[in-house]
């Protein structure tokens, strides 16, 4: 078997000859990728917009829970948060802010939280769904979850754990 030698052009093209071209290609690629990212996401290099301009402070008359003052600005007041860990209080607050309508949040002790909605604001199916979500959000912290709709209260943790 005869072996073929490499063409002279391939021998002449060494790594040293390709490095400047590769570096130029990489720099151009990064610059183009950065510009495309800014263009596609709608970002600009201008000063950031204030959150007040994006999310105006408008009270929705349909939202009745969450704030002990009766005025709901989309933020939840956690009653008794000093009784539990800061992580559990934050998880409860984030969970409540994601509900519609927003429930009241009250820690009864270090390991028990009650989410409350006004009477007739949740169907039985919605209450069960909220129960499961709340349990999923707080069970890792060892928090027992109670769901109250009007005067009816259920131990969500007992229902989910069976």
What CA–CA distance (Å, rounded) separates 73 from 96? 13
Average pLDDT of the chain, as a whole number: 73
pLDDT tops 90 at residue 108: yes
pLDDT score for 66? 46
pLDDT: which is higher, 76 or 155:
155
Is 99 in a helix, a strand, or coil?
coil
Mean pLDDT across 88-108: 90
pLDDT score for 17? 59
Give the tokens for residue 100. 């519609």
- The fraction of the chain above a pLDDT of 90, given in percent, is 22
Mean pLDDT across 130-140: 89
């Amino acid at each position: 078997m005869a072996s073929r030698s490499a063409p002279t052009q391939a021998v002449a093209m060494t790594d040293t000859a390709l490095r400047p071209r590769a570096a130029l290609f990489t720099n151009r690629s990064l610059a183009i990728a950065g510009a495309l990212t800014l263009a596609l996401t709608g970002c600009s290099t201008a000063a950031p917009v204030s959150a007040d301009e994006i999310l105006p402070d408008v009270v929705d008359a349909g939202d009745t829970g969450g704030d002990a003052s009766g005025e709901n600005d989309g933020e939840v007041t956690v009653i008794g948060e000093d009784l539990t860990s800061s992580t559990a209080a934050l998880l409860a607050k984030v969970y409540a802010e994601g509900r519609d309508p927003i429930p009241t949040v009250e820690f009864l002790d270090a390991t028990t939280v009650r989410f409350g909605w006004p009477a007739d604001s949740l169907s039985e199916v919605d209450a069960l769904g909220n129960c499961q979500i709340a349990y999923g959000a707080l069970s890792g912290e060892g928090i027992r979850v109670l769901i109250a709709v009007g005067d009816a209260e259920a131990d969500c943790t007992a229902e989910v754990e069976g």
